[in-house]
A and B are shown apart, each in its own frame.
Chain A
Amino acid sequence: MSSIAAGGLRQRPGLLLGAFALGCSAMLGMGDLATHEEIRLRQAEDLRNALDQTLSAVPHDNNPAADTVAVEDEGRAVTVYRARLAGEVRGVAFNWVSEAGYGGPITLTVGIGRDGRIASVRVLSHSETPGLGDKIDVRKSDWIRGFDGRGLDTGTRWAVRKDGGEFDQFAGATITPRAVVGAVHASLKFFAGNRARLLAVPAGPGGDAAATRSETPS
């Protein structure tokens, strides 16, 4: 029976191709069903880890991954994660992409405190030259920690030394650190420009509960 069907299909390549396309689609569909939930969990874990790293210096008692605000910036939507202590927003973290990298876009996760100073910056993904530009990765070098505690009001010259700033470039690689310094500076300006909105306690259910809690004398 199946050999007859197969023999018939051999005579009609179009049908055969269609059958394979159908079979492959079915396999992909099943694969997606089997892995979808697991992948979502793993990605949520990744996000939590990234936020833990960038907001570790900001005291908070909520889950920043679940407390988000979407802010429009020059046509792109930035999802901002907020760290709160007793309802008050103490710091925010968000991803910031620099298109000025040497090997492609560099995605940073930037954590900024309520005071507008950098809490921590980490590189989420990049494709810079191994051994040169990849020193921006905290696993390779401590360079990225140099931003901690700096803000727009700390008198920092936001550029690499070659451009008259105060951040080291790497031997043989100036474009990568220049891109990162520029992106961190831009992310601080973005924070300053949207400060009121980012730090406002929303009128949602979470915000109400938090507000009540802070008003009620305990």
Chain B
Amino acid sequence: MSAHHAAHKVDIEELKKSVRTYIAVFVTLLVLTGLTVGVAYFNLPIALAVVVALLIAIVKGSLVALFFMHLVHEVKVIYWTLALCVVFFIFLIFVPLATESNQSGIVARSPSLVLGAGEHGHQEGQAGEH
């Protein structure tokens, strides 16, 4: 059991250092939260606003994942699981949108049975299977 304890003691020094990391990440997250709220007040064009907000969110999320969830020193099996998940996640986010888009880009109108609406390549009232 003493070898176990020795290993344990070494860990404690490492752990104490990680507390400083946690505090640093916490402060950074608060700053980034303020930043993302502040940027919103500039009322950027929507495409740019989305990119900026997403980038900030990804940085914040990565900090939580890497340091709070200890992903920065996790094992391979977990990395592989998450990698697989990320691939399917990306498909799930982008493919339905791509499928419902028309020829000229990512403008996709929800089907409408209101007469006069329904330009952009969708047949009026024909959406969905019969």
Do A and B actually bind?
no
A interface residues with partner B (beta carbon < 8 Å): none
B interface residues with partner A (beta carbon < 8 Å): none
